[in-house]
């Protein structure tokens, strides 16, 4: 078995390059290191070839087609990079095993449904009232800002800059910091929540968790998702399954574009603003959160008819 080889060195270079750009690529790094180990195990010290990538992607007969597609996609992305430096490297064809990712159809919540979910927090077991109040405030903040669940639960008191009217999101996805401006109604609610928590647990440090659960313990992702699962049936009954906490982020994106269109603004030109606000590296990532809701389709159809005329034109 080789201790090192050409592909291993190239993969280490690629991972270091991606990290220098701020990408975490944890899963991608793990897969590429497995690929590098495979080439060493078989004693291979040549350039990347399409045949080698295909063989590794389908190495185990128990692999699902989607998993094989994801393995091949990972090597394909690396191959595109390294082929610019190694003229002998081949780029394997992507999509041979089908789609590598399936998009779960998000549920876009209405205003009334979100308000009902927030009110549903009162049904949660909450010995000192903190858990119920926290879940209500957390759902409202996600709906108002579209921040990630992890970003919300990681917020420190110092990060919720009520007087400045913004959130400071620290080292989130891609290890980037960003400021998230808040509407005055949101800062007012956050101020009320902060005062309520202090009335229960006393004055806290700037580095303490902003959102806490019973007895002042930090509110975490698992606790938030579990509480949401308990609340969903109260609002949606038997149709609760499949409606995710993360869909509030999708809802925020769709509602933002809807408001722009209703105001007659160019949503395509402003998408960069939404992309930055949501913490995306590029607008293409933001498109993932947009859905063709009936409201958006209605606005689009109306604008099309206004410009090109309807059936009677």
pLDDT tens per residue across span 76-89: 999 999 999 999 99
CA 294/CA 304 separation, integer angstroms: 15
Q: Which pLDDT belongs to residue 312?
A: 54
Supply 159's token pair: 């990060």
Supply 218's token pair: 């930090």
Nearest Cα to Cα of residue 140 among 195, 183, 198, 203: 183
pLDDT tens per residue across span 16-63: 999 888 777 889 999 999 999 999 999 999 999 999 999 999 999 999
Supply 69's token pair: 């597609």
Q: Classify 68 as helix, strand or coil.
A: helix
Q: Which pLDDT belongs to residue 304?
A: 76
Q: Which pLDDT belongs to residue 313?
A: 46
Q: Which pLDDT belongs to residue 174?
A: 62
Max CA distance (Å), the chain: 75
Rg (alpha carbons) of the chain, rounded to whole number: 24
Supply 270's token pair: 């402003």
Q: Which pLDDT belongs to residue 268?
A: 85
CA 72/CA 69 separation, integer angstroms: 5
For the chain, list residues with pLDDT below 50. 313
């Amino acid at each position: 078995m080789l201790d090192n080889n050409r592909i291993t060195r190239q993969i280490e270079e690629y991972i270091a390059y991606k990290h220098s750009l701020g990408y975490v690529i944890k899963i991608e790094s793990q897969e590429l290191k497995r690929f590098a180990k495979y080439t060493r195990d078989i004693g291979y010290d040549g350039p990347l070839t399409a045949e080698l990538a295909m063989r590794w992607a389908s190495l185990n007969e128990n692999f699902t087609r989607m998993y094989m597609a994801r393995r091949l996609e990972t090597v394909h992305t690396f191959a595109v990079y390294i082929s610019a430096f190694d003229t002998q490297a081949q780029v394997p064809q992507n999509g041979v095993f089908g789609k590598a990712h399936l998009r779960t159809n998000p549920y876009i919540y209405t205003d009334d449904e979100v308000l009902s979910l927030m009110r549903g927090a009162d049904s949660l077991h909450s010995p000192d009232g903190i858990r119920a109040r926290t879940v209500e405030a957390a759902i409202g903040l996600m709906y108002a800002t579209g921040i990630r669940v992890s970003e919300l639960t990681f917020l420190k008191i110092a990060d919720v800059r009520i007087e400045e009217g913004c959130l400071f999101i620290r080292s989130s996805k891609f290890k980037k910091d960003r400021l998230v401006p808040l509407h005055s109604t949101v800062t007012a609610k956050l101020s009320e929540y902060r005062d309520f928590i202090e009335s229960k647990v006393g004055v806290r440090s700037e580095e303490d968790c902003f959102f806490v659960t019973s007895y002042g313990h930090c509110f975490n992702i698992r606790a938030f998702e579990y509480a949401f699962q308990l609340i969903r049936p109260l609002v949606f009954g038997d149709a609760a399954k499949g409606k995710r906490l993360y869909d509030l982020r999708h809802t925020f994106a769709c509602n933002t574009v809807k408001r722009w269109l209703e105001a007659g603004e160019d949503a395509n030109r402003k998408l960069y603003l939404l992309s930055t606000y949501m913490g995306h590296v590029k607008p293409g990532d933001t498109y993932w959160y947009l859905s063709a809701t009936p409201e958006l389709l209605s606005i689009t159809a109306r604008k099309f008819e206004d410009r090109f005329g309807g059936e009677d034109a």
